[in-house]
Structure 1
């Protein structure tokens, strides 16, 4: 019985994880870590590996070695193995291109630091999100869990476009993908209902955050908490191409919250219907190129993650965040000015 089962995605960071592995392996051996490692071979393979490892009862924790997509697959395997309970602990070695969840949780990104962090074994119980749709198929037929973010519409189109880019790495991938998506995405008419509220209009995107940052640097849900039993949501009204280009730089600094095209709120359950099929991504991984009915819900306290619960989440406002009550629709209704 090994202490840790490592799910290594060699393709993470455009094969950067595969190149990093020998150095990471050397650190693990130097620290005398008892582990087993298996490389993923295709999309979805990490789900099966994590599920089987968790069900075997042979490991103390399952470790995602890659980026947010690898974390997503490992979390899906753990959640499916746990059924209605909490999961086996998940460790994260952030060697991908975005690493948004790990950054927000302040998990070290240097090799020695990430290994020492895992061995300290401080655990934080995180919420998870679950997205379901009649149009999902294959491994996602029963739904797809997410740990950090779920994007519906333009944001997911950007994820689809990013998969076609092979020569760039890191944040540049997402920037180029944004410009490609601008010319290929049709903004739908959307009807959305969440926790007793409703809205209907043409929208650019709906972004759902358990974490605060997505796409390697876009702070779309900057007030999100990973363990508050709710998911943060941002609605962006339909915009012209110049309007979209003006909005995006604001999201890098969290300043989009002041834009009149953006509405923020929190929810436990949300249903989305669109007049044309729209794509969805979970943690940066496209799960469908087009569906018209989508249901998203929070699963409070679902996933144990090896992360220090006493360390504050990374904050784009660097400790000077404006009160969230000024921006969240539910807070404004509860405390009218």
Structure 2
């Protein structure tokens, strides 16, 4: 099998020696081409060329969720097609939500061993993905469409992601303590925490208004706090469309309650209460805000938006697992 390995040399948990070991292991079973990313968006460009060339059968991502997201967007540049290369993931980032949601270990060497076993056995699955694009008739209409693998956020959580990215540009390491600090700062500076500005609309249903934030989940768990999985929408799955967790209030007591619920969440139970909106298996819906809000997909901050239209696409891509 001819394969392209896309390596993010800045991945936080894999050094040069580990990468060499993994490349050697993969090359023993595959006709392997290796490409290291050199700029933001490079993984997307490499995956797109692989998909358009028609010779590569497998694209392997060695990096974090950002690298995986770029590769997925490159593979699906022209939309889902049966003849697209398969995707495989070797986790190399700080959190690796997509890989772990697929059931892979968080260790790159262990994950590579399982990947090789899956390739020998011909084991793969089709996964659903989320697609977000600008809403027609709004200032965001011309924003390019973007695929995401595990989550998108509109409002508070995206603001936290943006703050963390700013700190990482300044040389800070991506740690859980960094996220906690930026979450507190985002809360203290949040101007819309008591009066939500977001409305969710979907065909055939009444609008859900006055939301402070919305988290769109393509799978579960939503993220990890260390080794602890966090379930924002426990019923979300790669086999269904999209789930939404939204909050209509962010008072200090509400934040403390929902943060505790998230940390204690399980595959059967997530956040709940009168200020919580939980929606399951939505194929098409729009989030629109009266004011510009932070927006993120798969942990990548995309700036401020006033609206976003979402589609859950079942069986969008084949993944080796």
TM-score, length-scaled by structure 1: 0.81
Residues 153 and 297 of structure 2 are in contact (CA less than 8 Å); yes or no, is this contact kept in structure 1? Answer: yes
What do the CA deviations read for 1:140-169 (whole angstroms, capped 9, x no partner)?
Answer: 933100011111111111110111233333
Q: State how far apart, in whole Å, the 1-side matches of 2:307 and 2:158 are.
A: 15
56, 81, 85: which one aligns with 1:85: 81
Where does the alignment leave 5 or more consecutive residues of structure 2 unmatched? none
User: For this pair of structures, how many residues does the alignment match?
Assistant: 297
Instruction: Confirm whether residue 251 of structure 1 aligns to residue 262 of structure 2.
Output: yes
Q: State how far apart, in whole Å, the 1-side matches of 2:45 and 2:166 are.
A: 25
Q: Which residue of 1 aligns with 2:237?
A: 225
What do the CA deviations read for 1:235-254 (whole angstroms, capped 9, x no partner)?
Answer: 11122134213321321222
Q: Which residue of 2 aligns with 1:52?
A: 49
Where does the alignment leave 5 or more consecutive residues of structure 1 unmatched? 308-337
What do the CA deviations read for 1:217-260 (whole angstroms, capped 9, x no partner)?
Answer: 332112111112x1111111122134213321321222543333
Instruction: Confirm whether residue 298 of structure 1 aligns to residue 309 of structure 2.
Output: no
Secondary structure of 1:107's counterpart equals coil
Secondary structure of 1:286's counterpart equals strand
165, 168, 173: which one aligns with 1:168: 173
Residues 247 and 256 of structure 1 are in contact (CA less than 8 Å); yes or no, is this contact kept in structure 2? Answer: no
245, 251, 261: which one aligns with 1:234: 245
Secondary structure of 2:244's counterpart equals strand
Deviation at 1:113, TM superposition (A): 2.0
Q: How does 1:5-84 map to 2 (within 5 A)?
A: 5-13=4-12, 16-17=13-14, 19=15, 21-30=16-25, 32-33=28-29, 34-81=31-78, 83-84=79-80
Structure 1 pair 91–199 and aligned structure 2 pair: CA distance change class (3 A): same
Instruction: Confirm whether residue 265 of structure 1 aligns to residue 262 of structure 2.
Output: no
Q: State how far apart, in whole Å, the 2-side matches of 1:186 and 1:232 are.
A: 26
Q: State how far apart, in whole Å, the 2-side matches of 1:201 and 1:62 are.
A: 41
Q: State how far apart, in whole Å, the 2-side matches of 1:186 and 1:213 are.
A: 29
Structure 1 pair 136–190 and aligned structure 2 pair: CA distance change class (3 A): closer
Q: State how far apart, in whole Å, the 2-side matches of 1:170 and 1:88 are.
A: 33
Q: Which residue of 2 aligns with 1:149?
A: 151
